[in-house]
Amino acid sequence: MSSEVRELLAAIEALPLGETRLMEVCGTHTMAIAKSGIKSMLPEKVKLLSGPGCPVCVTPPQVIDAVLELAMRPEITIATYGDMVRVPGSRPGDSLQRRRALGAKLLVVYSPVDAVEYAKENPDREVVFLGVGFETTAPGTAAAVLTAKEEGVKNFSVLSMLKTVEPALRALMKTEDFKVQGFLCPGHVGTIIGEKGFAFLPEEYRMPAVIAGFEPEDILLSIYLLLRQIAEGRPRVENQYKRAVSPMGNVLAQNMIDRCLEPRADLWRGLGRIENSGLGFKAEFSDYDAEKKFSIQYGEEKVQSACRCGDVICGRISPARCPMFGKRCTPEDPVGPCMVSSEGACAAAYKYQSVE
């Protein structure tokens, strides 16, 4: 342990605080915290909770069900990031991986532009890209749609599951059982929306907020800054990740999003329907909207197991308090997306055996 880390831990211990609950809302932070053992270093009075920061995890089962049905149409190839392949729908064990074994055409890509290129090379296939993510991935998805339109690629569309962080945090803070005193804000999202994107937290809710980087030292320093705000009773947005996050964010990326996407109501696992929390296509890009192109409908959510992923991503319980964690639900045979995703809280806790 370096002298800087020891000094930070001593400074945290010296703060005049009772039990304090902090929440990170970034899957990369969740994994970094578990991997580095930060929870075990902190005083018992400081509790770290995982919030709705994993885009795969917050996608509800009825949306996955619609994807699985879409995948079985013989003319369609589903293009997706790798994490989505094993995410189950309402029925245990039913996933894109299983549907591929039943004949579905599946293409794993690293970028949505890869899906556009595949569509150009295979004009006899309808290629549907699963647009999963927050503000971080929205510019790339928008760029793919703009590219397809400019190049006249007609057999490409996007099923937008893109979500925005602010409405989700507002909804989370309004829940009756919300007991968090400060947010570690996602650095990746911050690069797009800037410091201003989190100003509503202290200004409207008097909620302390720190935009954190991703190295263990970044996170530990951010925890100290957050706890200091709480101890001083002066909530504000502090930017620990100044090397990547500016006050106004990435204006070019924001403009890219605004060109073809607009806010709409969306469904979240654990939080339900939240107004203006998703990003859908503007009317002039409806030809690239898979929901409209294939008349996709979402049913009601069906609770099919004891999986409590929705409670985990809302900070209501830790992964170990889910009755399926490490028993029926493991990375080899996952029941919920929190165990599937490489940024899921359950996957992090299982892999690194993080403390509660």
Q: Nearest-5° angle of CA 20, CA 22, CA 25?
A: 170
pTM reported for the whole predicted model: 0.93
The answer to the question of residue 302 being in a domain is: no
β-sheet bridge partners, residue 157: 128
Residues 6+ apart with CB under 8 A from 98: none
Alpha-carbon gap, residue 186 to 45, rounded angstroms:
23
The answer to the question of residue 264 being in a domain is: no
Nearest CA to 336 among 104, 31, 56, 63?
Answer: 56
Alpha-carbon gap, residue 237 to 197, rounded angstroms:
10
My answer on whether 120 and 76 are in the same domain is yes
Eight-class DSSP state of 20: E
- When divided into structural domains, the chain yields a total of 3
Eight-class DSSP state of 234: -
Question: What pLDDT is stored for residue 342 in this prediction?
Answer: 87
The answer to the question of residue 338 being in a domain is: yes
Question: What pLDDT is stored for residue 355 in this prediction?
Answer: 46
Question: What pLDDT is stored for residue 3 in this prediction?
Answer: 83
The range of the structural domain enclosing residue 323 comes to: 309-348
The answer to the question of residue 329 being in a domain is: yes
My answer on whether 120 and 159 are in the same domain is yes
My answer on whether 80 and 153 are in the same domain is yes
Alpha-carbon gap, residue 100 to 279, rounded angstroms:
28
The answer to the question of residue 281 being in a domain is: yes
Q: What is the pLDDT of residues 166-212, one digit of tens each?
A: 999 999 999 988 999 999 999 999 999 999 999 999 999 999 999 99
Q: What is the pLDDT of residues 124-133, one digit of tens each?
A: 999 999 999 9
Which three-class secondary structure state does DSSP give residue 107?
Answer: strand
The answer to the question of residue 355 being in a domain is: no
Alpha-carbon gap, residue 170 to 165, rounded angstroms:
9
Which three-class secondary structure state does DSSP give residue 133?
Answer: strand
Q: Rg of the chain's alpha carbons, rounded to an integer?
A: 20
Alpha-carbon gap, residue 33 to 353, rounded angstroms:
11
Nearest CA to 350 among 108, 335, 42?
Answer: 335
- What are the E-state strand segments in 163-317? 182-186, 209-212, 237-239, 261-268, 272-281
My answer on whether 67 and 9 are in the same domain is no
My answer on whether 62 and 93 are in the same domain is yes
Report H helices in 175-215: 187-193, 200-205
- Token readout for 31 is 């994994």
CATH assignment of the domain containing 199: 3.40.50.11750
My answer on whether 158 and 279 are in the same domain is yes
Alpha-carbon gap, residue 306 to 325, rounded angstroms:
10
Residues 6+ apart with CB under 8 A from 96: 67, 68, 71, 78, 80, 84, 85, 86, 87, 104, 106
pLDDT in tens, the chain (356 residues): 788 888 999 999 999 999 999 999 999 999 999 999 999 999 999 999 999 999 999 999 999 999 999 999 999 999 999 989 999 888 888 999 999 999 999 999 999 999 999 999 999 999 999 999 999 999 999 999 999 999 999 999 999 999 999 999 999 999 988 999 999 999 999 999 999 999 999 999 999 999 999 999 999 999 999 999 999 999 999 999 999 999 999 999 999 999 999 999 999 999 999 999 999 999 999 999 999 999 999 877 666 578 899 999 999 999 999 999 999 899 988 888 999 998 899 999 999 975 45
Question: What pLDDT is stored for residue 303 in this prediction?
Answer: 61
My answer on whether 182 and 314 are in the same domain is no
Question: What pLDDT is stored for residue 304 in this prediction?
Answer: 58
User: What letter represents residue 226's amino acid?
Assistant: L
Return the sign of the alpha-carbon dihedral for residues 51, 53, 57, 63.
positive
